[in-house]
Amino acid sequence: MKDIKVYKSKIEYGFFAVFFLLVIASIFLMILKGESNNSILVCGSILFLILIFLCYGTFSIRYIIEGNTLKIRNGIIYSKDVDIYNIKSIKQSYSIISSPSAAFDRIEVNFNKYDSVLISPNSKQLFINDLLLINPEIKIELKKD
């Protein structure tokens, strides 16, 4: 039986605050411009659905260590399996590149020859320690907290 460990993504709630404020500001501007109630309702509904989709995507991000495989999951949006024995290094990253991560405090996992993925496990050090138990050859390059 395989040992399975699941890590949720670290979440920066500022993402939601900015989007929520943009939704409120958009609706407020529509009211000030004198848009019809139907227009406001349609626009508000669309923005609300987008907010729900963003919440689903954010809260569904998981990093699963199953056997010697790191499974990166983001609901129905993103799925990637990485053989832990192919991981070469893990580096600190604050990149804003789109990734299966809900925070800017990220780590870059480099694997195979030229592949990498940016992730943000909630328990970063515990996550890295679990990977090192499987593959102690992973080079770690993190800044001291």
pLDDT in tens, 56-113: 888 889 999 999 999 999 887 789 999 999 999 999 987 777 666 777 788 999 999 9
Contact predicate 88/138, CB 8 Å: yes
CA separation for the pair 101, 105 (Å, rounded): 9
Q: What is the pTM of this model?
A: 0.80
pLDDT digits (tens, 9 = 90+) for 131-142: 999 999 999 998
